[in-house]
Chains A and B, each alone.
Chain A
Amino acid sequence: MFLINCPFCGERDQSEFSSGGEAHIVRPKQPTELSDDEWAEYLFMRKNIKGIQFERWNHVHGCRKWFNVVRDTSNDKILSVYKMGEKPPVNYK
């Protein structure tokens, strides 16, 4: 069970959070201009990395804020936490 450091509330138990999948997938600004394939790419395709992954979490039973997490999925270590809109840390690429 993870301990997650909510950027707004501090360190809390995983049971207070819900996971929102891969981060930095931006909703296309003009969906109607996209082909079926391009739209499917946005809608369905996820990387599901073994290793360092950027993902979204929501402090759903807390402050209700969404934020980003850098997690190594091979050992579940959370390496970094940052707010929505902030640039992802570069040292984890």
Chain B
Amino acid sequence: MPNYRIHKTEYIDETKRVSFKYDGKTYFGYEGDTLASALLANGIHLVGRSFKYHRPRGIVSCGAEEPNAICQIGSKKDLTEPNVRATELELYEGLEASSQNCWPNVKFDIGGINNFISPLIPAGFYYKTFMWPKSFWKKVYEPLIRLSAGLGKSPTEPDPDIYDHKYVHYDVLVIGGGVSGIIAAKMAAKNNFKTLLVDDKKILGGSTIYQNNESIKIDDKLSNEWLKNEIQEIKKLSNLTIKTRTSIAAYHGYNFLLAKENLTDHLPEEKKKNKIRQRLWKIRAKKVIIATGSIERPLVFNNNDRPGILLSNSINKYLDYYGVTCGENIILFTNNDSAYETSISLHKKGIKNIIVDLRKSASSELIKQAESLGIKIYFNHVVTNTFGYRKINSLEIMKLSEDGNTTVGNKIRLSCDCLGMSGGWTPMVHMHTQSGGKLDFRDEDQVFLPKENSEDQISVGSCNGDFDLENIIDKTVNKINKFLDIDNQDYRDTNIICSKENDKRNIWLLPNKIPLGKTKCFIDFQNDSTAKDIKLALKEGFRSIEHVKRYTTTGMATDQGKLSNMHALGIIADTAGVKMGTLGTTTFRPPFTPLTFGTLVGRNVGKFFEVVRKTSMHEWHVENNAEFENVGQWKRPWYYAKNGENMHDAVQRESKAARDSAGILDASTLGKIDIQGTDASEFLNRVYTNAWSKLAIGKCRYGLMLNEDGMVYDDGVTTRISENHYLMTTTTGGAANVLSKLEDYLQTEWPELDVYLTSVTDHYSTASICGPNSKKILKKLFPNLDLSDENFPHMSFKEDKLENINCRIMRISFTGELSYEINIESKYGNSLWKMCIEAGKEFNLTPYGTETMHLLRAEKGFIIVGQDTDGTMTPSDLQMDWIVSKKKYDFIGKRSLYRSDTIREDRKQLVGLLTDDPKEILEEGAQIVSDIKSKPIDMLGHITSSYFSPNLNKSIALAVVRSGKTMKGQKLIIPMENKNINVTVSDTIFLDKENKRLNA
């Protein structure tokens, strides 16, 4: 097996050998490796196939910007993870990884055929091609695309890992632990700022930590040695917290940031168990210092995507940090000085290399150093083509013309097994722009830079466009002193020597004799978009960068275009003939690197997913086989399945019992608002449509509440407990919103009213007993209470004691039966319920759930706000004109009731529907039409409630129908998938129109 690990480094522990599997084959690496460095040490460059053309692709980078080395980790159904960057994944014993986006395997790939038909796959291909015929999409295109271009597989079972959230507050947050971040953190912490330093890597130090060039020195030490000392020093600072393996995912307003800390991803399987995998940090910092560094740019030339072609600085890191060389015969292709550092490092380790430089000449210390070492440099040359299918084996270079627009002279063919490219550096301005910061453009080296405009956020180091070490350190120190308003002298005498880059030449799309249409100059490696695609998009009329991006899919893959955005912009600017800075950039959206759903959700999974509210009677319901329904956060009994009944049977039994003898409902979840104050009556007058001033003490009244737009908002019964004291009930789901709305009016529109609102929903439990025998049950429970119709009529209220505990009893009905609601302090709710059940035994008192409640009220034609209404129904639409006071001068929504739209006669209105076949039950939500033959069919409305009534022995439904009020007796049709159901419009009240049962 080849071994490309050619020397020892302090970051690789060669005493700890680690075995791992890649595409099913076992390899070895060492502790300290990433999956990428271990693969390269084994001579493996080819790691996947490209998305569209299925071209072989290799490792390109050593960090978060990696577009190609994207892996699927593990194979377990619950733990497998797609889209993991091999360049960031730390190697551990037993790691199983496989390449993504290739089928059947990386070396033989059926999709590779796309490469040969690529002239047929231009920009916008998917939009243009997979359009017709429609049936082809489902049957042919989609399965093919899914099979051959899968972007990894999602786990199919719940994630067993534990995730955590943590809130923290700091004076100063420093993002990035490179040289500038370390200096900034030290200055802040030493000047009494409580400071947090985060870095996404395992160790601090950024790219300076492996920088060992003789022409770059700080205080007479190599820059990496100097930085190691600094790191030792900051580790001793007491008010500095350092978090490594922690990356900022999002930078929101007001310095609120989200960071993901990786806790176990680098550990072997058995050590991961029962530990928190990732923690989401929610950080509030008074000040934020961004030191996120920069990313090296690729160069755009023909066939720039072959395995073995990497970023130049990544070759340097693999060599000096991991001890791995990416080849034995390397060519570096550059337009700037940084590739020379790589070249010199390679040379020192005995790796043969030559340099191809776009620039006509260059004269810095680094270049002199390379020249003195005898490294061959081709100035003013450009790579025009590369060769080698699974890995690069040679390339062609040509001389550049004076203006750089074309090539001149003869091709020179050079053999190689690796190509390093460096197109300059792109400052990582993501954090700055996410926080709302704007950008400036610097023409000299074509970079976007943070525009400083904030007192609480600053960028330092190379993310601020300062690239050489002297510049970085001097500027960082000055800026931090100013930013934090301190006078730190730690670096006053620091002596920095470094090579200064004097010469620049940037060409976004490198010239070639071959017509662009026949080249493959890749810009976005992950989404396979080329320079040709960008030009085509411009030709087809796209101008905005945001549009070109979407049309060509440049920058839209999981790497979010970290390597490609600048080139796309540059080529657009060149083609359109405008200055680059004027185009703006695409939006840098969070997260910076992908986040797992687990991290976002944290502990809020399973039973902690949402708050659950249970009534005091909940245990009894559970013991008595209740099936529960979620109503808001409440768990409400839906129905009680007796002796293995199904839902239909249970509901039929419960409904019948409630009308024949007695039923009991847990009504504790209804919203309850306690209203007190000398203006309470006036307040109710203003919020309900009907009149309240004359409601006698001890009486109850049903009220309908509108929005200011006249639409029904909520309903419920309110009881006058004393002169200035009311108890309002609301729908279960609307309770919180109603309270908010009432508070709004009270505080902002009518502050002169003396009214106080208190939510008492949780304070009282409510048992609602209905049916012809309910009075007899009440008599047993409250023997001293006069239950006669004279003393305690319908819609009135009494107080009494149940074994010395106060109860509020309302005689109100939502079923149309004689009915009592007993309210008691919540802690006695369960006892109350059990006493009711006990007292009701001889009368077959039957507990019923929400489904039966809905059925019983539908028989009586009572609406449910939110089921029969949807925010577009006025009282009149509901045929409830009787509840709208004509006398009251004003109430919420009154004026809207006679707007031109609300008085239209052809609004959708609530009606009853009876099926011609009484056994046929309609489907809620089904459409209603009158003429099945017209096309398009005219939709008249839809069904809002539908049940089979055991008491009427027929199917009943409520519906909203256009002009429904005038349609009584008319035939309508409900078209279903395989039949049409004939119905007749009826009254909304199906049972006991005369209200005889209320006083039975």
Contacts and interface: CB of A to CB of B under 8 A. Distances in A.
B751 A32 contact: no
A2 B284 CA distance: 11
B253 A43 contact: no
B708 A18 contact: no
Interface string A9-46: 00000000010100000110011101010011001000
Contacts of A52: none
Interface stretch (B477-485, B867-875, B895-903): B895-903
A1 B900 contact: no
B252 interface: yes
Interface string A53-69: 00010101000111000
Nearest to A29: B890
A8 B255 CA distance: 23
Interface string B125-139: 000000000000000
Interface residues of A, number: 25
Interface stretch (B190-198, B320-328, B571-579, B739-747): B739-747
Nearest to B436: A75
A56 B894 contact: no
A76 B436 contact: yes
A60 B896 contact: no
A85 B748 CA distance: 8
Contact of B748 (A40, A43, A66): A66
Contact of B747 (A34, A39, A66): A66
Given A2-B254, A65-B747, A66-B748, A32 B895 contact: yes
B748 A56 contact: yes
Given A2-B254, A43-B709, A36 B899 contact: yes
Contacts of A39: 895-896, 899
A1 B740 contact: no
Given A31-B890, A39-B895, A85 B740 contact: no
B628 interface: no
Contacts of A65: 747
A34 B748 CA distance: 21
Nearest to B284: A3
* Contact-residue bracket for chain B: 20 to 34
Contact of A84 (B252, B740, B751, B894): B751
Nearest to A64: B743
Given A1-B252, A39-B896, A58 B890 contact: no
Contact of B894 (A3, A31, A75, A85): A31
Given A36-B899, A43-B896, A3 B890 contact: no
Contacts of B895: 31-32, 34, 39
A30 B889 CA distance: 8
Nearest to B707: A43
A76 B744 CA distance: 24
Given A31-B894, A32-B894, A58-B740, A1 B436 contact: no
B749 interface: yes
Contacts of A1: 252-254, 256
A36 B895 CA distance: 9
Contacts of A26: 749
Nearest to A38: B895
Contact of B900 (A31, A36, A58): A36
Nearest to A31: B895
A20 B743 CA distance: 12
B254 A3 contact: yes
Contacts of B890: 30-32
Contacts of A40: 899
A74 to B, nearest CB: 9
A3 B283 CA distance: 13
Contacts, number: 50
A21 B840 CA distance: 52
A40 B145 CA distance: 52
Contact of A66 (B256, B744, B889, B900): B744
A2 B253 CA distance: 6
Contacts of B900: 36
A68 to B, nearest CB: 9
Interface string B728-741: 00000000000010
B451 to A, nearest CB: 13
Interface string B875-893: 0000000000000011000
Contact of A20 (B256, B744, B751, B894): B744
A60 to B, nearest CB: 6
A62 to B, nearest CB: 12
Contacts of A75: 436
B256 A84 contact: no
A75 B253 CA distance: 9
A27 B749 contact: yes
Contacts of A31: 890, 894-895
A82 to B, nearest CB: 13
B783 to A, nearest CB: 42
Interface in B743-771: 743-744, 747-749, 751
B170 to A, nearest CB: 14
Nearest to B454: A75
Contacts of B899: 36, 39-40
Contacts of A43: 708-709, 896
Contact of A85 (B436, B751, B896): B751
A60 B749 CA distance: 17
A72 to B, nearest CB: 11
Contacts of B284: 3
Contacts of A76: 253-254, 436
A2 B254 CA distance: 6
Interface in B228-275: 252-254, 256
Nearest to B750: A27
A19 B708 CA distance: 18
A75 B252 CA distance: 12
A34 B709 CA distance: 14
A18 to B, nearest CB: 7
Contact of A60 (B253, B709, B740): B740
Contacts of B252: 1
A84 B752 CA distance: 12
Contacts of A84: 747-748, 751
A5 B422 CA distance: 49
Contacts of B254: 1-3, 76
A58 B744 contact: yes
A16 B237 CA distance: 35
Contacts of A32: 889-890, 894-895
9 contacts: A1-B253, A2-B253, A3-B254, A3-B284, A34-B895, A58-B740, A58-B743, A76-B253, A84-B751
Interface of A: 1-3, 18, 20, 26-27, 30-32, 34, 36, 39-40, 43, 56, 58, 60, 64-66, 75-76, 84-85
| A-B complex: 5 closest residue pairs judged by Cβ atoms | A31-B895, A1-B256, A66-B747, A27-B749, A76-B253
Given A32-B890, A32-B894, A66-B743, 14 more contacts: A1-B254, A18-B740, A20-B744, A39-B895, A39-B896, A58-B744, A65-B747, A66-B747, A76-B253, A76-B254, A76-B436, A84-B748, A84-B751, A85-B751
